Amino acid sequence: MAVERIYNIWKDTAEDRCTQLVFCDLSTPKGPSTANTPTLDIAAKSLDAGVIDGINYGTESESENDEDDDTGNDLTVASDMDAVIALSSGKFSVYDDIRKKLIAKGVPPNEIAFIHDANTDIRKTKLFSDMNAGYCRILLGSTAKMGAGMNVQQRLVAAHHLDAPWRPSDLEQRNGRIIRQGNMFYERDPDHFTVQIYNYATKQTYDARMWQCIEYKSAAIEQFRKGDVLQRTIDDVASEAANAAEMKAAASGNPLILTQVQLAADLRKLEALYSQHQRAQYRLKDRLKWLKSTDDRLAKAEEAYNENIRLRDANTRTITDNGKEKIKLELGVGDCVLYVKDIEKIKDQLLSGVKEVTRNSSAKVEFGKYRGFEVFVERTGFFSGTDGFRLCIKGADGHEFRPANLAYSFDDKLSLTGLFQRMDNFLAKGLDEWVGSQRKKASEERGELETVMAAMGKEFPQKEELALVRENHAAVIRELQRMQEDDNYVSTWEPKKLEQPAPAAYGLVNSSSEPQTLIYQDERGQTEYTASHQFNGYEMEGTVLRKVFRNEHVGAIDQSFYEDGQWHTTLDAPVGVKVMQFQNFAMAFQVAKNDAEKNGGHELLKKNISHQNAAILSEADQQHARLRT
């Protein structure tokens, strides 16, 4: 089979003189391939001159030439494992057998070479040059000799693995000889040219065990490559591991083993998705507990705001200066009160605090009490890499405010009057802005609460697929056990498949759950209507309709359609009114069409906004499709 494929590729690519690599670790040549190979003979004769293809490589020493026989083989030293196998094994050689069969089919002997014959750097350089030039078109060798440091990729079109190496890295090194830059055929046609890699195994031999070793080792390596520290077991088999698993099953000669490998892979993926779903439900439960306390937390924030306002107003005194009313500067330090006339003492008080936080970066030093609020000095850092300090204002309820305008770099020029002006600005506007942000956050959390409650308790969407894969996997294991116990037992078992679902009452725009968008244009601007199963980052049971209106004057306005029949943002949605969940995309888009026509819009485009290529199914879709076919 391997010889036939190698020959066919050699024949089909004769015009371009394409080359192939053949890897085999379980055998070595018993004799040189160069006995009838003029190309290598010419190279050997030219060694005395030390010139090959116009390049001066120097000459080999006499002692080196004396130890070689006429073919260039060193018979005195077994320098590596390949040489040991060659000297100690029997008469049969896979290398010699493949070479004889290829020659019998018509391949010229000079186009076949063994890497073992190139046992010096000069011979290797000549051999690699012949491969890249297309003079030598089929090169056989082991992983140790051809797995690394060999650049013959210019004309390569195929690589053949006659056996499985022990290490996944060896398999990568083998494939790395052909999957690399510098291929002239790829450079000529990058859109259509592909290399071919063939893995071979003999049924009911030790090959199955070899591929199993590669599978286990590759799977463990993939786990580390992913960096998934949350998983305690190997969840997936990818790249070389996936190919190795299928090769192991195919080599066993039992089709049920291949079925078991596929079912095991599907089961691992579905179990991982199910675990992820369960973890998401636990996170939703914790999030729900927090969201239910929104009103209580907002009430406390409102109470703290009112108390801070009373504290500020009760401790604020004003003076009239040149006909203007100003806030009187009064800083309480211990039992004393410092005024404008005590500006030097205030400066010393501030510098004392700055020095302390400079010595101890975790310290919080009291600066004084201003308008009823305790003020502290803290150490801080800036993104520019320069250190500094800031003032922390402690409210009536113990909440600490750290206004951005009260942060200073050590290099800043500080004005004490400017510092107190900044504190006055915060106490005048900052408290209102803080409570405003709390109200806005509470409004967002109320909207999120509805979404979380709708997502809570949602069943695993692939529940049926998981149950079926579990059942099929258990059944195929039972069948394999029976076949192992009874050599005469012939299994007729076939995996169960999911029944096709009945058509929905309403036609879907698309049978998949990928978001769909309609774009309308009117005299005001452009409006995008998107139907999906996502709302505020959560998966919904029904279809949610979202509208984004874009205009060069107002920018973008993002709203969703709610159960009161109106469009709302998350912030302005009425309390207790939930987002509308349609039965399907068609019903949602009917509402979108009516809304667009009401505004005089005309449809521009209908598009699928999936982030994935439409031709590529997700893992879940692939499993789903496999179960239905």
Q: Per-residue pLDDT tens for 303-312?
A: 999 999 999 9
User: Considering only 19-33, 164-178, 389-403, 608-622, which range has the smallest mean pLDDT?
Assistant: 608-622
pLDDT of residue 411: 81
Q: Which stretches of 68-133 are DSSP H helices?
A: 81-88, 94-105, 121-133
Determine the 3-state secondary structure of 479 from DSSP.
helix
Rounded CA gap, 228 and 345, in Å?
Answer: 58
Q: Mean pLDDT over residues 433-446, rounded? A: 90
Q: What is the mean pLDDT of the chain?
A: 78
Rounded CA gap, 609 and 519, in Å?
Answer: 12
Q: Per-residue pLDDT tens for 404-420?
A: 889 888 888 888 989 99
Rounded CA gap, 124 and 122, in Å?
Answer: 5
pLDDT exceeding 90 applies to what percent of the chain?
34
CB proximity list for 241: less than 8 A, separation 6 or greater:
168, 214, 215, 218, 219, 221, 222
Cβ-based neighbour number of residue 186 at 10 Å: 17
pLDDT of residue 105: 93
pLDDT surpasses 50 at 328:
yes
Residue (of 111, 97, 94, 98) closest to 11 by Cα position? 111
Rounded CA gap, 107 and 7, in Å?
Answer: 8
Residue (of 605, 587, 591) closest to 560 by Cα position? 591
User: Considering only 9-13, 201-205, 248-252, 287-291, which range has the smallest mean pLDDT?
Assistant: 248-252
Cβ-based neighbour number of residue 203 at 10 Å: 11
Angle between helices 619-628 and 463-485 (to 10 degrees): 60
